[in-house]
Structure 1
Amino acid sequence: MDEISLLRRSRNDIPERAPAAITRGRAALFGQIDGETPVALFSQLGDDTAFAPLPSRRRRRTAAWAGFSALGATALVGALVATNVLGGPGWQGTAEPAAAAALESAAVAALQVSDPVVSPGQYLLVRTDAVYGATGTLEEDADRIRRENNGNVQPEDLVSFLEKMRDEVFVPADREDLWVWVRCMRTPVETFGPRSEALAAQQMRESAEVGAADILQHLPGGIFPGGSAYGSYNGGNGSSGDYDALPRDPRLLLERIYQLNGSSGQSRDGQVLVWIADTLRSGIVPADLRAAIYQAAALIPGVTITEQEATLNGTTGIAIGRLETASNRRQDIIIDPATGGFIGERYVQLDGAGGFPPGTVTGWTAVTTVVVDSPPTDTSTCSDAAPGSDGR
């Protein structure tokens, strides 16, 4: 169901629109907004006019996860449409119009699709299948590096390969109860020539020496041994798991993320997309915040559609990303505009840095959530079929 269909529930004078026409209309709308000055409706107020948002009441968490009512979703859809058509406080529409339209569709859909409802005694399984880049130096090069460069590693000394891993987190209906975390050992999945193969074999030997293995761990209340909470985000001075503290207004949320990131990252705008990918990767971000995050992403300069049909671990969606010119590396998030679901994220290295061939997907994570009746008692699931090297 698109936003026009949802609005029709509250008004009977909305004409039918084909899905393709709606998508084209969104893209045209964003293209018009991107290239023009503020609409005449607000032009007489002056360039310095600011609009203060209405205060909002913080949500109270419940043990069962429920979605929005039709009335609530309709109101929020109306707010999203109004923001995109008329412009919110300081709204610039700085993403590519097609990318902004896809993000808007995902935001609207996220409000229509209920979050999973976990009944007492059940668990939400958040499974992340991932491939990460591993970069290092070979033991056989150690003497030469010490002799020629005083021990300083040069770019040409670096060698890389890809390794796969899987995490399974079982979240109880009452989040104060005991969580179960299954961590599957990392293993090589793709190499790039003889030196890359040698580094992968070297790491496997080192892992065996330290007794690396699959691990099952219990997390009281979802808290890791170090004190951080599962699903926490970069909260500026440390991590935070308080989703209620984040604004749902897209512009205010974007400004808040800028503040939390500070001067970290290669660029101010690029680090926002990194924050978004890191936060959504947990798989437990509530629908209303996920919608606001998509809307905030539509305000990031340089965000474009990088692939119309991107597949991660067998699930296909639209890849939306941003290129960091300093490192020539691109961060993508992959979303399903029809459901508002977050499929995953990936990094693409456009040049041959770090020993990777140009254009290599140097890391990706696919997120899958499902409600189950009980958590495992061992790590046997780690022996199931694992993801491919490129997530396809």
Structure 2
Amino acid sequence: MTEKMWTDDELDQAIADQPAGPAFSAAARERALARMLAAEAPRPGRKRWLVAAAAVTLVVGALVAVPPLWSDDSGPAASAAETLRRAAAATTAHTAPSEGQYRYVATHSWDVGSATTRTGKPLSALIHTLVEVWVPADRTGEWLERRSTLGSRWLVGSDELVAAEGDGGLFAGNPPVQERRGPCGDYPDVNEELGGDPDWGKPCTERAGSWYRPNPRFLTSLPTAPQALYDRLWADARNDAANALSHAATVLAAPDASPELRSALYQALQHLPDLRVTEETANLDGKAGTALGLARADAREDIIIDPATGRYIGTRWVLLRSGTGAWEGLEPGTEVSSSAVDFAVVDRAGDAPK
């Protein structure tokens, strides 16, 4: 797993929040990012990662409220509703693996890491990571996960500055490729004490799953009537629109979600307060779609979907105000985190789709 270092207090809290499982959960990712919004600047020579690279998506808990960034008219909300209606009508099924085959899930993530040089100058780089997971048709079988660090680019800083003053450990501990295997996605390095997941230790077929870990059993427990699904989503998100959007994103990113469920979820999201079209043509991992988002604290969370095909492309976080602390030097509009997901079916673990 790619090593990303936070401050000691942030790391302690992130570990306490983290449910047991094969990767950072959506909930832990969001909690970490929300905490970073108010983080102080890192000390010279210390690096800080705003989110776990190559995690799946995103906060349960109080966040600082910000004024709406859109006009009060119904235009943006109406556009969001129309986008969701089109996506719901166009949604089709993902190809399912046959016996002996594997579901291939590829998640490209771009996450900002920050540090300071020996003299205290801020550094921020966007790191690109690919996580590939091969899930057997029989989920109780052995899963394979491969994590690859693909590259980086400077947002604040330069190679010349690092050569002169060091990178504060920003790029330390990032092996190019790492693999791990385990039945039902239980990898050997998972610590059951990390979060008290109620599914820990249960047989694979008996795990209830959750919005943050949407396994087939959880997905089939969700209603497919749009109003009933919205009521369930809203209640489980504790009447918080941003949490509800994050819940929805993890289900939309689940390869086992049926077309009926994804269509119903798009219809349910039409009722979500303050959801707006934030970009008519948004590009993520080379794919174009419409971005719909909600503001929280100093950043906005967007989900990106292709309304013409009903395809969920991914999610991103966009800075709304000039960066401070760990985001010092970043301008409004900077994407500080994003992830794009894709699916395929292959015959062998380790094979990439053609």
**Offset at 1:360?**
0.2
Is 1:115–2:94 an aligned residue pair? yes
Is 1:373–2:347 an aligned residue pair? yes
Q: Which residue of 2 aligns with 1:207?
A: 173
- Match for 1:289 among 261, 269, 272? 261
> Take 2:271 and 2:113, find their aligned partners in 1: how far apart are those partners?
33
Contact 1:308/1:317, CA 8 A, preserved across alignment: yes
- Match for 1:245 among 197, 203, 221? 221
Paired amino acid for 1:135: S
**Offset at 1:261?**
2.9
- CA-based RMSD: 3.3
**Offset at 1:196?**
11
Where does 1:97-116 land on structure 2 (aligned, <5 Å)?
A: 97-110=78-91, 113-116=92-95
**Offset at 1:359?**
0.8
Cα deviation 1:84-117 (Å, max 9, x = unaligned): xxxxxxxxx997112111111111211xx23213
**Offset at 1:158?**
6.5
Paired amino acid for 1:133: V
- Match for 1:349 among 319, 327, 331? 319
**Offset at 1:197?**
6.2
Where does 1:1-392 land on structure 2 (aligned, <5 Å)?
A: 96-110=77-91, 113-141=92-120, 159-185=123-149, 187-194=151-158, 198=162, 201-204=167-170, 206-207=172-173, 212-224=175-187, 225-226=190-191, 235=210, 241=215, 242-262=218-238, 268-324=240-296, 327-353=297-323, 354-355=327-328, 356-376=330-350
Cα deviation 1:135-183 (Å, max 9, x = unaligned): 3444544xxxxxxxxxxxxxxx875321111100112122222111111
Paired amino acid for 2:167: A
Going from structure 1 to structure 2, the CA distance change for 1:192 and 1:234 (only over 3 Å counts) comes to farther
Q: Which residue of 2 aligns with 1:38?
A: none
SS in 2 for 1:207: coil
Q: With a CA cutoff of 8 Å and minimum separation of 6, indicate the structure with the bigger relative contact order.
A: 2
Higher helix share: 1
Going from structure 1 to structure 2, the CA distance change for 1:340 and 1:240 (only over 3 Å counts) comes to closer
In structure 1, runs of 5+ residues without a counterpart are: 1-92, 142-156, 382-392
Going from structure 1 to structure 2, the CA distance change for 1:196 and 1:273 (only over 3 Å counts) comes to farther
Going from structure 1 to structure 2, the CA distance change for 1:363 and 1:234 (only over 3 Å counts) comes to farther
TM-score, normalised relative to structure 1: 0.58
> Take 2:209 and 2:122, find their aligned partners in 1: how far apart are those partners?
30
SS in 2 for 1:188: strand
Going from structure 1 to structure 2, the CA distance change for 1:262 and 1:195 (only over 3 Å counts) comes to farther
Going from structure 1 to structure 2, the CA distance change for 1:277 and 1:201 (only over 3 Å counts) comes to farther
Paired amino acid for 1:127: A
Paired amino acid for 2:273: P
Contact 2:298/2:320, CA 8 A, preserved across alignment: yes
Contact 1:167/1:183, CA 8 A, preserved across alignment: yes
> Take 2:261 and 2:179, find their aligned partners in 1: how far apart are those partners?
30
**Offset at 1:247?**
2.1
SS in 2 for 1:100: helix
SS in 2 for 1:190: strand
> Take 2:86 and 2:160, find their aligned partners in 1: how far apart are those partners?
42
Going from structure 1 to structure 2, the CA distance change for 1:126 and 1:183 (only over 3 Å counts) comes to same
> Take 1:279 and 1:134, find their aligned partners in 2: how far apart are those partners?
27
Going from structure 1 to structure 2, the CA distance change for 1:195 and 1:290 (only over 3 Å counts) comes to same
Paired amino acid for 2:180: Q
TM-score, normalised relative to structure 2: 0.63
Q: Which residue of 2 aligns with 1:8?
A: none
Cα deviation 1:189-235 (Å, max 9, x = unaligned): 33323599649933355326xxx4521111312335346689x9984
**Offset at 1:254?**
2.5
Going from structure 1 to structure 2, the CA distance change for 1:192 and 1:291 (only over 3 Å counts) comes to same
Contact 1:95/1:300, CA 8 A, preserved across alignment: no
SS in 2 for 1:97: helix
**Offset at 1:376?**
1.6
Paired amino acid for 2:177: D
Contact 1:94/1:300, CA 8 A, preserved across alignment: no
SS in 1 for 2:128: strand
